[in-house]
Structure 1
């Protein structure tokens, strides 16, 4: 009995030591940081969908940038042909103005003098014309000399030239001579907008004297704005006149603008770039000259291995997908991504193995990434 009692505690001690060794070996086993396991309950409550990835036609895109420009013929600098003082304007940058709308009122004594000269010249013309006709008739009957007739003719023609030149000067400052008489002489003139568009800038203030060389306003006709892209010399062979593209800005990247290439520059800059002009298919008032834009030009279409964007995650600067190893068990696999189109992204496997026959997580990859990260933090 004594021997048996001694043996039992000894066996118990050995068993305890064995269990401790087993526990220590389990604790020291390295965890697989690229694998995540879900319980049946977690899997049921998740949005994870698995399936085969597929080959699809996907476009290769050339990504470039540029800015919105206005062609010279659509940018108007408004000045006054005959100097004067700016009496009135209500224009502000960004304001819409219609063609023919009054945009400023000028006044100066020059305007009065010009109207006076015209009306005086026109009043003298009646007597000069009558004398010319009389001398012409007398000369025809040899009742007056040729010299007297020629003097009358010269004065008549000179007066017609004077009236016509004064009339054109008045038209130049917006005064129509049809309704001009001694009762309608005005010290002010009105300046009308030559285009339908927007005010780009206001250069002068009320009360200032404006000379003919001064610019009052700069107006923009936005109906023909261009998207000017900067394309590197090495990419020029990829684009053609007539090619379609989409443009977007950084503040609203989801809003796309359809464009078409209309001109490709022939001059290569020192930075080895070329300017490419594009037309917007439809005008949008949100497009403002000088605004920077990004653009994507579709240069080719190829069949490629793709995965839905919901099956793709980015972690620590790299792209990953998840392969279903078994029900509820998933492994993270690094991939390289290329072009994206219509919710799918082209991928290639970094390890170069052909995994396309396996089941992939097509939706809910982000859920698995969060689970994997949380599990890593708990350890």
Structure 2
């Protein structure tokens, strides 16, 4: 025999003998692993799910056969399954919900915000609300304003009023109409300066001009900004007070763009503070801003809520939590899914220690549950604990099955 072929033959013989010795040692030290034919999951009521070896353990139909799937199943002794703490639970349709958490910043509701200005030049005569943070009522006098221009306009109005009363009855229509037109022009000028109707009626009744015109609060709330001081000269459009009603506020939070399809105007949200987590207020989404921040990939969402006792102050940060119902979904415990790289694997228990592993496709996650899109059918019992041990056993079986000369027990 050619020496080269003789050395090759001797090496091959030694390799086969080494493989047979390894297999014999493995069979004496590890539980029996058998290739079995997969079969449908037993119809077991969910209340019977639990530890393997339960008295209601479903019977296995050994007549089913699907040769292509047998490579993905194995048989492990019941005592071994119990010893490693294997548990299982049926896959079932369950109501799932998605929780979105974010941080929001308290802001003033712009619909309950007013800035006090005047439309004519003058001087502040007397100040009635004189510090920031003071609470005011709608109609309350904030200050009085002295304005020479206003004095002149009041005198013009009184002259026009007297003319209208005397010339309005003239037999000449042009004269009567001119007197009425002059009176209306003077009245319109006072209204354009935001002079109240009651002040105009007082002027008509008394015939006395008001030297210091009172300026009133446009709404009830808290003074959050003030520049007015006694004796200060005012100019048209100058902001003297900012008043905010904080009994109703906004909270603006950031939501990631991939979560945007889950939210809509009107959805409820829980609001809490980090230093008072047990105290929760209820808000609702009032507006979703139409743009996304290109840096953070988030969109701003405005939440609206009542603020009893004005506990929430503008500028404070709050925790926001939205619970979004997703309807009934086929779900299993998240521990039932073994994630390995890009694959998700589940183990199906068919009874009497018969385990089958499958690739699964998961969907939404909700708390300790995960949605199953593919790989598991409703009612099938999925292994929920000791998955890593079973996975190691299945990989060992696959490795031995690929050895030359290895056989399987049935």
TM-score (norm 1): 0.56
Shift in alpha-carbon separation, 1:62–1:121, aligned structure 2, 3 A: same
Counterpart position of 1:120: 159
Q: SS of 1:296's equivalent?
A: strand
Q: Which residue of 2 aligns with 1:5?
A: none
In 1, Cα distance between equivalents of 2:386 and 2:318: 33
Does the residue aligned with 1:155 lie in a helix, a strand or coil?
A: helix
| Residues in 2 aligned to 1:280 and 1:74: alpha-carbon distance in whole angstroms | 13
Aligned residue runs from structure 1 range 125-136, under 5 A: 125-130=164-169, 133-136=170-173
What is the alpha-carbon distance in structure 2 between the residues aligned to residue 241 and residue 166 of structure 1?
A: 44
Write the distance in 1 (CA, Å) between the matches of 2:285 and 2:309.
Answer: 18
Matches of 1:80 and 1:191, distance apart in 2: 9
Matched with 1:204 is 228
Q: Deviations 1:100-129 (Å, cap 9, x if unpaired)? A: 111222223223222211111212223332
Out of 296, 305, 323, the residue aligned to residue 280 of structure 1 is 305
Contact 1:57 1:304 in 2 (8 A): no
The aligned runs of 1:281-320 (5 Å cut-off) are: 283-300=308-325
Partners of 1:212 and 1:305 in 2: how far apart?
Answer: 66
Q: CA deviation at 1:210?
A: 1.0
Contact persistence 2:133–2:222 (CA under 8 A): yes
Residue matched to 1:4? none
Aligned match of 2:191 = 168
What is the distance in 1 between the residues matched to 2:305 and 2:199? 40
Equivalenced residue count is 248
Structure 1 position 233, deviation (Å): 0.9
What corresponds to 2:121 in structure 1? 83
Which residue is 1:256 aligned to?
280
Question: Does the 8 Å CA contact 2:146/2:212 hold for their aligned counterparts?
Answer: yes
Q: Residue 224 of structure 1 is aligned with which of 239, 248, 253?
A: 248
| 1:12-38 superposed Cα distances (whole Å, 9 cap, x missing partner) | xxxxxxxxxxxxxxxxxxxxxxxxxxx
Query: Aligned to 2:139, what secondary structure does the other structure show?
Result: coil
Partner Cα distance (2:197, 2:122) in 1: 14
Q: Cα 1:304–1:200, aligned 2, differ >3 Å: closer, same or farther? A: farther
Does the 8 A contact of 2:158 with 2:207 survive in 1? no
Residue of structure 2 in register with 1:187 after alignment: 211
> Deviating runs (4+, > 4 A) in structure 1?
55-60, 300-306, 348-354
Q: Could you say what secondary structure the match of 1:176 adopts?
A: helix
Match of 1:64 among 102, 105, 110: 102
Question: Aligned partners of 1:242 and 1:155: how far apart in 2?
Answer: 57
Structure-2-length-normalised TM-score: 0.52
SS class of match (1:73): helix
**Contact 1:199–1:220 at 8 Å: present in 2 too?**
yes
Alpha-carbon RMSD: 3.4
Contact 1:203–1:216 (CA under 8 A) maintained in structure 2: yes
Segments of structure 2 that go 5 or more residues without pairing to the other structure are 1-86, 336-365, 369-383, 391-410
Q: Does 1:246 align with 2:284?
A: no
**How big is the shift at 1:91?**
3.6
Who is 2:179 aligned against?
156
> Cα offset for 1:169?
4.8
Change (3 A) 1:304 1:99: farther
Unmatched 5+ stretches in structure 1: 1-52, 137-149, 307-337, 341-347, 355-379
